[in-house]
Amino acid sequence: MSYEKEVMEKMSRGESTGDRLEIPILKYLWDASPLSFLAKESYHDFFKKVSVLNSFSDNEVRLFTKFLHRREFMTNEVIFKQGDSGYGFYFIFSGSVNIHANFGTQTEDMGDFVIRLEKRQYFGEMGLLEEFNRRSATVVAAENTVLLGIFKPDLERMLELYPVLGAKFLRETALIMANRMGQLTREIVMLKKKVKELEQRG
Amino acid sequence: MKRNQKIKLYLFLAMFAGAVIFAILFPRLTLPFGFAYILYLMAKPFTVKLTTGSKKQRFIYFCIMLVGVSFMFFPLFATLYNMDTDFGKFSAQLPEAQKILQDKVFGLKVKVFDQFGFKLKLDPVNYVMAKIESQGADFLNHIPDYLSAMFEWMLLVPLFLWFFFMESRKFSQGLLEAIPNPIFEKSYVLFSQFNTKFGEYIIAKFIEATILGTLVTLGLLIVGFPYPFILGFVAGVTNILPYIGPVIGFVPAFFIALLSKDPNVSMLGMVVIYTLANLIDMILVFPLLVSKIVNLHPIVVVVSIIIGSQLGGIVGMIVIIPFIAFFKLLFKEIYKDLSVQL
Min Cα distance A155 → chain B (Å) is 11
Whole-angstrom CA distances from B252 to B92, B246, B261 are 18, 11, 16
Three-state SS for B179? coil
Distance CA B150, CA B140 (A): 15
A96 DSSP β-pair partners? none
Closest CA to A82 of A62, A65, A107: A107
- Nearest by Cα to B250 from B286, B276, B221: B276
Is A78's Cβ below 8 Å from some Cβ in B?
A: yes
Cβ atoms of B278 and B246 closer than 8 Å: yes
Residues B61, B50: Cα–Cα separation, whole Å = 9
On average, the pLDDT of chain B sits at 79
Which residues from A are below 8 Å from B1, CB to CB? Answer: 78
| Of A61-75, A182-196, B290-304, minimum mean pLDDT range | B290-304
Residue A100, phi then psi, degrees to nearest 5: -120, 145
Nearest-by-Cβ selection for B342 from A71, A83, A132: A83
Taking the CA atoms of A41, A45, A50 and A56 in sequence, report the sign of the dihedral they define. Answer: positive
Residue A49 φ then ψ, to 5°: -100, -5
Helix (H/G/I), strand (E/B), else coil: B193: helix
The pLDDT of residue A191: 93
**Helix or strand holding residue B307 (H, E):** helix B298-338
| Mean pLDDT across chain A | 83
CA angle B84, B88, B91 (to 5 degrees): 135
The mean-pLDDT minimum among B63-67, B218-222, B278-282 falls in B63-67
Q: Does B186 touch chain A (CB under 8 A)?
A: yes
Global pTM reads: 0.71
Shortest Cα–Cα distance, B212 to chain A (Å): 30
Mean pLDDT of B21-36: 85
Q: Is there a contact between B340 and A83 if contact means CB atoms under 8 Å apart?
A: yes
- Gap between the Cα atoms of B276 and B271, Å rounded: 8
Give the burial class of B109: count Cβ atoms within 10 A of its Cβ; 0-12 exposed, 13-18 middle, 19 or more buried: middle
The 3-state secondary structure of chain A reads: CCHHHHHHHHHHCCCCCCCCCCHHHHHHHHHHCCCCCCCCCCHHHHHHCCHHHCCCCHHHHHHHHCCCEEEEECCCCEEECCCCEECEEEEEEECCEEEEECCCCCCCCCCEEEEEECCCCEECHHHHHCCCEECCCEEEECCCEEEEEEEHHHHHHHHHHCHHHHHHHHHHHHHHHHHHHHHHHHHHHHHHHHHHHHHHHC
The model's confidence at residue A36, banded by pLDDT at 50, 70 and 90, is: low
Angle at A172 between CA A167 and CA A173, to 5 degrees: 95
Pair B40, B168: CB distance under 8 Å: yes
Q: pLDDT at residue B54 above 80?
A: no
Q: Please check whether residue A69 touches B, CB under 8 A.
A: yes
Indicate the pLDDT class of residue A39, thresholds 50, 70 and 90: very low
Of A149-158, B201-210, B294-303, where does mean pLDDT reach its minimum? B294-303
Q: Are A111 and A93 spatial neighbours (Cβ–Cβ below 8 Å)?
A: no
User: Which of A71, A78, A152 has the CB atom closest to B184's CB atom?
Assistant: A71
Is B133 in the A-facing interface, judged by CB distances under 8 Å? no
| CB pairs < 8 Å spanning A and B | 52
Asked if A104 reaches chain B (Cβ–Cβ under 8 Å), the answer is no
Interface test with A, best of B55, B175, B185, B188 (most A CBs within 10 A): B185
Pairing of strands A97-101, A112-117: antiparallel
